Amino acid sequence: MKAGIFGGTFNPVHLGHMRIAEEVRERFRLDKVYFIPAGRPPHKTDQGLAPGVDRYFMLKEATAENPYFEVSDVELLRSGRSYTIDTVEQIFSVLPRDSGCSLIMGMDAFMEVETWKSFQNLFERIEVIVVSRPACPELSGARADQTETMRDVILSRISKQYRYDPETSCFVHPRMKTIYRFKATAIDISATNIRRLVAGQKSIRYLVPETTETYIYQKRLYV
């Protein structure tokens, strides 16, 4: 079995999230993509964050028709802040022993990786797929070459022994796990903007799955 771990606040889940997961699943031939809504993310405040149970059920409804997608509440059930390394270890513990697993993250999150708990251990434990996403302010202007930006981050903050393989668009290491760069379809949808639209009583149709739109209005989220 080959699985992908796709974490985030999903506040709310939107079509950009869904498309990224589908493209990564197809490109890397994943048997399962685990969507994992964050409990209490260490790099974000709780302000404006919908209750975990609501974000979980929005994901459950949004992914229900895709047999390759599954939603896990491991971070919601864990007390305290949600750390990726703990989630990775927990997912590994429930997968078959010979399973492969990849961590899916956006370029914006990757840029802050040195602030993560035990981030060096993370790259010793699991392959990482870094998804190029639109509207990433850290990559504007002279830093628009995302491969070079990734190289700078990897060599300066993770390990100088990583080397880039242009044929597979990945960074390889003699001992640590491979880091892939994956360019997804540019769907520029922002959860922040969706919440702003809801608060302003504007339409969010075609930005989120229909089930998510219905759930938000029924539960009066983000108003």
Domains, in order of start, for the chain: 2-189 (3.40.50.620)
Give the pLDDT score at 49: 94
SS3 104: strand
Give the pLDDT score at 142: 39
For the chain, the first-to-last Cα distance in angstroms comes to: 42
SS3 115: helix
Give the pLDDT score at 147: 87
Give the pLDDT score at 40: 77
Give the pLDDT score at 140: 45
Q: pTM of the full predicted structure?
A: 0.91
Give the pLDDT score at 16: 96
Q: Which residues of 96-132 are buried (b: 16+ CB within 10 A; e: fewer)?
A: eeeeebbbbbbbebbbebeebeebeebbebbbbbbbb
Q: Within 10 Å of residue 46's Cβ, how many Cβ atoms? A: 7
d(CA 160, CA 110) in angstroms, rounded, equals 17
How far is CA 2 from each of CA 5, 85, 101, 220, rounded to the nearest angstrom?
Answer: 10, 18, 6, 38
Give the pLDDT score at 186: 84
Q: What is the pLDDT along the chain (223 residues), one digit of tens a residue?
A: 999 999 999 999 999 999 999 999 999 999 999 999 998 766 566 678 999 999 999 999 999 999 999 999 999 999 888 899 999 999 999 999 899 999 999 999 999 999 999 999 999 999 999 998 654 444 444 344 688 989 999 999 999 999 999 999 999 999 999 999 999 998 899 999 999 999 999 999 999 999 999 999 999 999 9
d(CA 171, CA 108) in angstroms, rounded, equals 18
What's the token pair of residue 5?
A: 């771990």
